[in-house]
Every structure is written in structure tokens, then in C-alpha cells.
Amino acid sequence: MRATITLDPAFIVGPVRPRVFGSFVEHLGRCVYGGIFEPGHPSADASGFRGDVLELTRELGVTMVRYPGGNFVSGYRWEDGVGPVDQRPKRRDLAWHSLEPNQIGVDEFMAWARLAGVEPMMAVNLGTRSVAEALDLLDYCNGPVGSTLADRRLAAGAATPYGVQLWCLGNEMDGPWQTGHKTAHEYGRLAAETGRAMKMMQPGLQLVACGSSSAAMPTFGAWEYEVLTQAYEQVDLISAHAYYCESNGDLASFLASADDMDQFIDAVTAAADAAKAAGKHSKTIGISFDEWNVWYQDRAESQPPQGDDWPVAPVLLEDHYNLADAVVVGDLLIALLRHSDRVEAACLAQLVNVIAPIMTVPGGPAWRQTIFHPFALTARHAKGQVLRLAIDSDCHDTQRFGSVAAIDAVATFDQVDGSLAVFVANRSTDQVGELAVDLSSFGELQLVEALTLHHDDPHFQATPDTQSSEFLGANETVAIEAGRLQASLPACSWSLIRLQIVGR
Ligand code: AHR
């Protein structure tokens, strides 16, 4: 397989947006309890936050974390999670058929987010609740002291408002599984009124309306158009959610998942722009891709408990990722970055234990899954502007998507320090990719680093004891001469190539 890419610093898609490297912490399974929070763990601080998870969260390069759900938020009473911990109620969580002990709530999450160095992104419950409760939560989080709710935050030790800027107006309200599921019209009206009231309290907020929970939803497209017809002026972004997995042994289609994400983003953009035109609006709605990942939803580990079994923090959605999953995660990030003109925020779902890059052993170590690495490397090295690259790749056939490009790539260029990063996936299951990149527009460049994520077995899984050098290492084939870069990319691989303008 061959591919040629031409890069020019003048051709820009948009800025690399830090919020694209967001993640997600939901009260689900062992994400909160046993994930970020495990009192008594050897690395835990006085608040019970695991220090090893905090360290890996920082290493992952996560910039923003969405909280507290997810499906969980649609039945959540945020007031249960504030005030003296020993007086907080235990409630049944219908979304995951679990018992919520409310040992962690808004204040604890904000304290954790500060330690992790991430921006909090909050979701309000528009399933079982409405405008008043959203306003109450907003006042509790962001209000200056003086109101009863802001003073309750003060009493919890937070005199300074949390300053949460980005808010989700509910979660996946298009899904019949959602507690308080609504039609597009019902939800659009509620989002409009909630958004209007929240902005009356704090005009500068950025609000995310629920888009579709997947492009496969029967209402997809019409949902976005109707919701934005109702709420266009009150919201700033519309959400998109997508999960991918290898099914029926069809690795070739799975590796091309980013093409599906591209089409999804383009369709959401079209629906949002149609609502803009029809409503004669002047602002443009951005996309918050606030749930994306690989998720094997049909496996036993994703089935919630049943009947009288309402456990606290059960093992749920604990997918064990392989090398191909990591290549797909790397390529999905490529797709998100190449839409940086429109995708303003994104959240890898989720952060710890639940379909997560970070796993924990109770009382034991925290460790990195395969998908940790492409995320961490992209978050660290994608800087400046995303370049509009011209790519010409050989194609191969897939069952799900027909003919797809074997090589997929995106590049970012930081004009300030002269660093260029090329992120590239070889999506062929069995062919080496020979890549040539024309970089002559940049002047003299030197190679800084070339790393490739690959294993001869695409289903190789990392364990707590695996060294990343078993599947991530220097790619010695990468060379640059007279403005032309050459690289050999193994089948089913993801690579990062870093270059630097000489003399900068
Ligand atoms: O991330 C797991 C679940 O997937 C979330 O709770 C929900 O929003 C989505 O369906």
C-alpha cells in the first residue's frame, strides 16, 4: 500500500483545541468508587483520591473531564452529593441498576479536577428534572456567595466559585433507555428554556444541547434539526456520541471506523447549518463529541445487574483493549482533529476502569491500557494549527464501508516553535504502508522522533505488567531528505512523526 501526503503551513483547518483532549467520569461501575476514589489505597490522599490515578490522568494529557454522567445524570439529584458525607442518602441508580452511596459529589469532583489539572464540564439532569434544579446547581457551582446555595458551597469549603464554563443540557435524551427520554420537540423546548434561564444567571456560559447518541439512531439528523430549531439561540454546541468495536472478526471494517466518525461529524454539521439557515441565525453551532471510544457493548462485562441485586460500584464495562483498539482510538483522534474547524470539544469515554485507558487493581496498581498511548501522545504533541493535508492513498475493500483509504493522517504545526507533528494510521490488516510526505514548503526540517504502535498480533492486550516497549517503539524507517519524508508503516499500526524547522 502506498500513500503520498503534501503539507503546507499555509493550509489550515483550524486551531488545535485543548478541549478535544477531554475525558469523562461517570458514576458508573468502578469509575468513581475504586477508580478516582479509593480511601485506604496506599497512594490515596486524605480525601481518598488515588494518587496513582491522578498521576496517570496527568500523563494521559486530559484537559477537561465531563461529570457526573452519562445515563446516570438523568436520574441524579445533585443535592444528594453535597453536605456532610455521613448524612448523604443512598439511592438506586436506574441507569446502571446500582446503589449510589453519594460519597463523591460536586465538591469532591471539583477538588479532584483541581488536583488533576483538568477543566470540569458539568451535565445537568434534564431526564427526571428541569429548569429549577439546573439553576440551583449552577448557583451552587458558580454563584458568588450571598445566596443560600452559594453559601452552602462556601460551607463546604469553597469560597471561590468553581467557574464551570461548559455545561451539558442533559444526556442522550434521544435514547429510549434514558430515564426521562423525550421527543426532539419536547427536549428542544426544555433545552431552550433551561439554557435561557442559565444564561440569565450567567451570560458567558457555553451550553451543549444533546445531539444523537449514535449516527445509527432512527431519529439522527431530524433530531439535531428539531432540537436546534427550538434552542438555537440558547445553546452553543450540539453533542455527538459514537462507540466502535470489532464485530464478527471483521478487523478491516473496524480499522476504518474513523471514516464513520468523519461522516457523522459532516452530517451533524449539515443539520446544524440547516437549522441556522432556516432560523436566519448568524452564529455557528460547534460540535461537542463528548462520548467516543471503542466499546464492546454486547459482552458480559457491559450487562448491568438485575432484579434485587443493586450493588455499589460493580465491575461494569471493564473492556480489556487490544492493539487494534488502540490503532482505532489513534485514528479517531485523527478524525476529530481534522474537523477542528467544527469540533470544539471531545471526551474519551471514560477515564478509569469503565471503557477506560486507565485501569485500577483494588489496593494494587493503576495501569495503562493500549488505548492510553495514542491518546497521550496526541494530546502532548498536537499543537498550534491543524493543517489541511492533501492525501492520496491506496484503498482496500471493507464489508461495512466499501472501499476505504489504507492510510489516514492528520498534521499539526506550531508556528511559534516551528514543530510539526504527523499522526498516521495504517488501516490495512496485512499490508505494509509506504508513505511519502512532501514537506518542501516548510524549508529545512529535521526529524525529532518517530514512534510506531504495532504488534504482530493485532489482538495483543496489555496487562498491568506489560512494558509499553512491547508494542510502541522507534520507527527506524522514517527518514527525511530534501523536503521529502519516507516511512514504512506496518499493517494495523498508528504512528507519530515529529519534525522541527531547523534553527527554530
Ligand atoms: O459511557 C457509557 C454510556 O454510554 C453513557 O452513560 C451513556 O451516555 C452512553 O450511552
Are 133 and 141 in contact by the 8 Å Cβ rule? The answer is no
The predicted structure's pLDDT at residue 211: 98
Collapsed DSSP state (helix, strand, coil) of residue 239? strand
The predicted structure's pLDDT at residue 229: 98
The predicted structure's pLDDT at residue 504: 79
Give mean pLDDT, residues 256-272: 98
DSSP summary character for residue 352: B
User: How many whole angstroms from 391 Cα to the centroid of ligand 1?
Assistant: 34
Distance CA 260, CA 339 (A): 13
- Measure Cα distances from 327 to 340, 373, 408, 463 in Å: 20, 10, 11, 17
pLDDT digits (tens, 9 = 90+) for 199-224: 999 999 999 999 999 999 999 999 99
Strand 22-24 and strand 343-348: pairing? Answer: parallel
For the Cβ of 322 lying below 6 angstroms from any atom of ligand 1, the answer is no
- Percent pLDDT > 70 in the chain is 100
- Measure Cα distances from 371 to 39, 187, 222, 375, 429 in Å: 27, 34, 33, 7, 18
DSSP letters spanning 386-429: EE--EEEE-EEEETTTEEEESEEEEEEEETTTTEEEEEEEE--S
For the Cβ of 293 lying below 6 angstroms from any atom of ligand 1, the answer is no
User: How many whole angstroms from 359 Cα to the centroid of ligand 1?
Assistant: 18
> Which atom of ligand 1 is the closest one to the Cα of 71?
6
First and final CA of the chain: distance in angstroms? Answer: 34
- What structural domains does the chain harbor? 3-9+386-501 (2.60.40.1180), 17-381 (3.20.20.80)
Block residue for cell numbers 471494517? 253
The predicted structure's pLDDT at residue 479: 97
Collapsed DSSP state (helix, strand, coil) of residue 251? helix
Residue 407's CB is within 10 A of a number of other CB atoms, namely 24
pLDDT digits (tens, 9 = 90+) for 283-328: 999 999 999 999 999 998 899 999 999 999 999 999 999 999 999 9
User: How many whole angstroms from 415 Cα to the centroid of ligand 1?
Assistant: 38
Are 192 and 227 in contact by the 8 Å Cβ rule? The answer is no
Q: Ligand 1: which of 291, 292, 318 to mutate, most ligand atoms within 8 Å of CB?
A: 291
For the Cβ of 70 lying below 6 angstroms from any atom of ligand 1, the answer is yes
Q: What is the pTM of this model?
A: 0.98
* pLDDT at residue 190 greater than cutoff 90: yes
The predicted structure's pLDDT at residue 301: 87
- C-alpha closest to that of 126 among 177, 63, 190, 64: 190
The average confidence (pLDDT) of the chain is 97
Are 217 and 179 in contact by the 8 Å Cβ rule? The answer is no
Query: In this structure, which residue's CA is closest to atom 1 in ligand 1?
Result: 349
Q: Ligand 1: which of 32, 71, 318 to mutate, most ligand atoms within 8 Å of CB?
A: 71
Grid coordinates representing 165 are: 464554563
Are 451 and 495 in contact by the 8 Å Cβ rule? The answer is yes
pLDDT digits (tens, 9 = 90+) for 443-466: 999 999 999 999 999 999 999 999
For the Cβ of 172 lying below 6 angstroms from any atom of ligand 1, the answer is yes
Paired residues of 481 in beta bridges = 484
User: How many whole angstroms from 95 Cα to the centroid of ligand 1?
Assistant: 9
DSSP summary character for residue 248: T
For the Cβ of 349 lying below 6 angstroms from any atom of ligand 1, the answer is yes
Query: In this structure, which residue's CA is closest to atom 5 in ligand 1?
Result: 70
Q: Confidence band (pLDDT; 50, 70, 90) for 363?
A: very high
The predicted structure's pLDDT at residue 39: 97
- Measure Cα distances from 164 to 64, 65, 138 in Å: 11, 11, 8
* pLDDT at residue 438 greater than cutoff 90: yes
**What value does the CA radius of gyration of the chain take, rounded to a whole number of Å?**
23
Give mean pLDDT, residues 155-163: 97
Active site residues: 172, 291
3-state secondary structure string, 194-226?
A: HHHHHHHHCCCCEEEECCCCCCCCCCCCHHHHH
Query: In this structure, which residue's CA is closest to atom 2 in ligand 1?
Result: 70
Residue ranges of alpha helices (H) inside 102-183 are 106-116, 131-142, 148-155
The predicted structure's pLDDT at residue 400: 96
* pLDDT at residue 68 greater than cutoff 90: yes
> Which atom of ligand 1 is the closest one to the Cα of 96?
6
Q: Phi and psi at residue 50, in whole multiples of 5°?
A: -65, 125
pLDDT digits (tens, 9 = 90+) for 77-130: 999 999 999 999 999 999 999 999 999 999 999 999 999 999 999 999 999 999
The predicted structure's pLDDT at residue 371: 98
> Which atom of ligand 1 is the closest one to the Cα of 317?
2
* Burial 367-404, CB ≥16 within 10 A → b, else e: bbbbbbbbbbbbbebbbbbbbbbebebeebebeeeeeb
Grid coordinates representing 296 are: 464492546
Q: Ligand 1: which of 241, 244, 245, 288 to mutate, most ligand atoms within 8 Å of CB?
A: 241
